[in-house]
Amino acid sequence: MPGQADPPSRQPLLHDLVSTIAAPTTALSGADGQIRHTGAQGLFHADRRALSLVRLLVDGKEPEPVSAAVDGASRTRFVSLPRWLDGDSIDPTVRVDRTRTVTPGGMSETIEISSAAARPVTAEVSVELGCDLAPIERVKAGKNGTALSAEAAGDGRLAWRADGITVEVHGPDAHAKPGPTATLTWPITLGPRQRVTLSWSARVTDPAAVMAAPSGPAEWTDLQVAAADHRLGRLLARSLDDLRALRLTEAGAPPGHTFIGAGVPWYLTLFGRDSLWTARMMLPLGTELAEGTLRTLARRQGVKVDKRTGEAPGKIMHELRRGLFVVGDSELPGAYYGTIDATLLWINLLHDAWRWGMPEDRVAGLLPALEAALGWLAEYADPDGDGFIEYIDEDGRGLANQGWKDSGDAMRFHDGSQAEPPIALAEVQGYAFEAARNGAALLDAFGHPGAVRWRDYAAAMAERFRERFWVDGPHGRHPALALDAAKRPVDSLTSNIGHLLGTGMLSAAETEAVATLLVSPGMAGGYGLRTMSAGDKAFNPLSYHCGSIWTHDTAIVVDALARAGRGRESAQLARSLLDAAEMFDYRLPELYGGDDRGSAPRPVPYPAACRPQAWSAAAAVCLVRAALGVEPDVPGGRVTIRPLPEAPFGPLTVRGLRIAGAAVDVTVREGGAVEVTGLPPGLRVETP
C-alpha cells in the first residue's frame, strides 16, 4: 500500500538448508543443491559471502530434485531429474548427480549426467553464478549485498574482485559469460546408455581474513564405540566428522594453535566460551586440542581496561572478527571481551587438561596466564564487592547479557518480568568456585604461592551462594537463575542450575534437590533439558533461551549429574538426547524446540539454529564420558571409572580414549563390571 513501511529485516532461517563445510569455508544451499540469492544461502569464506548464486540448469530449466545425501561434513551429493528429456518413458531415463566438495578457501562440483534412454539426448548444461561479497553480519540481519559483475579471466574462467578479495571460478571446457549474473555453459550429447561428467571450481583469496585452516590432521584420533544402542556410535562418528571440519586457527598463528570454530554459518570463528567448552568436552580424545585452545586465547588475554571492548587485565576474550560486527542493537569490536565466564572456563580447562595428562612443561608454560586470569577474578570480576561475579555492558553497544544465555530477554523472573543488570548468574558463581579450587591445585602442584587464598575464596563463595541464591517458590526449593541489580533472586527454574552439579559447591542434599528438579516434567518433558521450566510465565518452547533445548546444555548436565553420583537422572537426560539425535539424522543442532513429547512426535527445529555447531557436536563425546564415568588424575597416579548405574546405552566398549597420551580401551559389561587396557605405567584404576 502507498506509504506503508517496509517490513523489518529478520534473521534468515537455517533449519531446511544443507551445509557443506571445511572451515573457514561453508556452502549453504537448498535441499535441491541450488544456491539462490536469498536468505542465508551462499558460499561463505571467512565472514564474507563469496558466491550468492550457484544455480544448475539444463536447457535453461531447473531439474526436479530427488535427494540430498551428506557424505561427511565436506561433501554432499544431490540427485535431480530433467524429466522433459525422458520422452515417452514412464520411468526417469536422464538423471543428474551433482557432487559438491568444500575445501578451505574453495568449492568444487562434479556434474554427472547419465542417460538410460535408447535414443541420443542433446542438452545444454549451465551454472549461473553471482557474487555480492556481503559481510556475514549483513546476511545474518536478513539483508543482501550489492551484486558484483564478473569479469572474464580466460578460457572457462570468471573472476570477481572487491575489498581486496578475489573470487575465481574455472569450468574446464565451458563457455564463460561474464556479467552481474555470470554463466558457465556446456553443450552435451549423450548416446544410449552413456554418461558425461562436467566440473567447475571456485577459489577465494582473502588476505585480510582473520581465520584460516590449520595445517596437518586433526589433533585427535576417533573413538571406536560398540554399544547395545547403536545410535551412540552413529552420533559419535558424525559428530567427530563435523568437528574435524570446524577446526580453525588464527591467520598467522604459530603451529599447534588449533581450536574449534563455534558454528555454521554465523559463528565460524574464535569464541572463548564455545571453544573452551568444546575442548573440555573433547578431553577424552587427548589434550592437544585443549592446549591449542588455551594457547590461542592466552595470546589475546586482556592487558588493559577498555569499556568499549570489555577488556580487562587477565580477562579471556569472547569473540574475534575482522572488524566491527554490527547485529541488531549491538556493535561489537573485532576483538570483543564481553563475556563473564570465559576466563573461569579457561582456568578450568587448563586444570582438567593437566589431570588428563597434558605434559607438565606445557602446563607450566601457561601458568603466567593462569595467574593473570586469577588476578581478573580477584580485581575485576566483582565490581561492587558483594562477593559475586557479575556483568553489565558499560559501553551500551555490546551484549546486554554476557553468560551463555546471551539473548537480550534471557533473564526472566518466574512471573515473566525481566531482570535488570548488573546480573550475577548462578552457574558463573559455580564456575568461579571451581576455578578457585582448580587454580589452587595448579599453584600448589607447580610451587607457586597463593593456593590458600583461593581455597578460602571457594569456601566463602559456597556459603554466600547458599545464603543468597536459594529460593522457595512454585517449583520448590532451588537456586535462582541469577541476582539482579537490586540483589533480588531471579526466581525462575532454569537449566543454569545444572551447571552447579559436579563442581563440589553443593551439599549432598542440595545436589539431590537440583537433580530431582532437572528431570521433573517441566524441565525434562521434551527431548532433552529445557532452558526454562514450562511452569514459568516466560516459557516458550521456541524461545532462544526461555524454553528451548540446547544440545550442549543437556550434555553438560548429563555429565555433571554423572559426576555428582546421580546416575538415574543422568541416564534419563542422556536417553532423551539420543532420541533427539536420531530424529536429526545424528547431526544435533545448536538448539531445538522444547515442546512436550506428548504434543510433538519429534523435536521441532529451532529455525535459526546453527548446524553443525561445535559444542553440540562435542556433546557426543560428553555422553560417552558420562556413560563410563571416567575421571583421570594423571598427576595423582589414578583413573577413576564409575559407569552410570542405569547406563542408557547397555553394555559398552570404548576404544581409543587418550589418557596421558596413551590409547586406552574400556569395556563396561552387563551388571557394571569394568575392564581397562592400555593405561600407561604408574596409573591405577579405581572403581568405587
What pLDDT, in 10s, does the model give residues 360-382?
999 999 999 999 999 999 999 99
Q: What is the pLDDT of residue 445?
A: 98
Instruction: Give the pTM.
Output: 0.96
**Mean pLDDT over residues 522-538, rounded?**
98
Q: 505: Cβ–Cβ under 8 A, 6 or more apart, which residues?
A: 429, 430, 433, 434, 458, 461, 462, 465
C-alpha to C-alpha distances, 492 to 381, 537, 631, nearest whole angstrom: 24, 9, 32
**DSSP letter string over 144-213?**
--PPBPBEE-STTEEEEEETTEEEEEE-TTPEEE-BSSEEEEEEEEE-TT-EEEEEEEEEEE-TT-SEEP
**Cα dihedral across residues 381, 386, 388, 392: positive or negative:** negative
Domain boundaries, the chain: 18-208, 212-668
Q: What is the pLDDT of residue 205?
A: 98
Amino acid identity of residue 493, one-letter, is L
What pLDDT, in 10s, does the model give residues 34-67?
999 999 999 999 999 999 999 999 999 999 999 9
Q: What is the pLDDT of residue 197?
A: 98
**Mean pLDDT over residues 511-523, rounded?**
98
Q: 671: Cβ–Cβ under 8 A, 6 or more apart, which residues?
A: none
Instruction: Please report how many Cα atoms fall inside a 13 Å half-sphere around the Cα of residue 504, on the Cβ side.
Output: 12
Q: Which three cell numbers stand for residue 604?
A: 521441532
> Which residue did the predictor score with more confidence, 647 or 371?
371
Predicted confidence band of residue 151 (pLDDT cuts 50, 70, 90)? very high
What is the CATH architecture of 18-208? Distorted Sandwich (2.70)
**Mean pLDDT over residues 436-440, rounded?**
98
Q: Which helix (H) or strand (E) holds 373?
A: helix 367-379
User: Is the peptide bond preceding residue 187 cis, with omega within 30 degrees of 0?
Assistant: no
Was domain 212-668 assigned CATH 1.50.10.10? Answer: yes
Q: What is the pLDDT of residue 688?
A: 78
What pLDDT, in 10s, does the model give residues 424-435?
999 999 999 999
High-pLDDT (> 70) share of the chain, %: 99
**DSSP letter string over 314-339?**
TPPP-EE-SS-EEETTEEE-SEE---
**Mean pLDDT over residues 401-413, rounded?**
97
**Mean pLDDT over residues 643-662, rounded?**
91
Which spans in 450-545 are helix H?
451-468, 508-518, 521-524
What pLDDT, in 10s, does the model give residues 170-186?
999 999 999 999 999 99
Amino acid identity of residue 529, one-letter, is L
**Mean pLDDT over residues 18-24, rounded?**
98
What pLDDT, in 10s, does the model give residues 71-114?
999 999 999 999 999 988 889 999 999 999 999 999 999 999 99
Predicted confidence band of residue 7 (pLDDT cuts 50, 70, 90)? low
Query: What average pLDDT does the chain have?
Result: 96
Between the CA atoms of 228, 588, 51 and 161, what dihedral angle is there, to the nearest 10 degrees?
Answer: -100
Q: Is the pLDDT of residue 653 over 80?
A: yes
Q: What is the pLDDT of residue 1?
A: 42
What pLDDT, in 10s, does the model give residues 451-505?
999 999 999 999 999 999 999 989 999 999 999 999 999 999 999 999 999 999 9
Q: Is the pLDDT of residue 646 over 90?
A: no
Q: Is the pLDDT of residue 637 over 80?
A: yes
Backbone Cα Rg of the chain: 26
What residues are paired with 91 via a beta bridge? Answer: none
Q: What is the pLDDT of residue 9?
A: 76
Q: What is the pLDDT of residue 2?
A: 45
Which spans in 537-647 are helix H?
551-563, 567-583, 614-628
Q: Is the pLDDT of residue 6 over 50?
A: no
High-pLDDT (> 90) share of the chain, %: 94
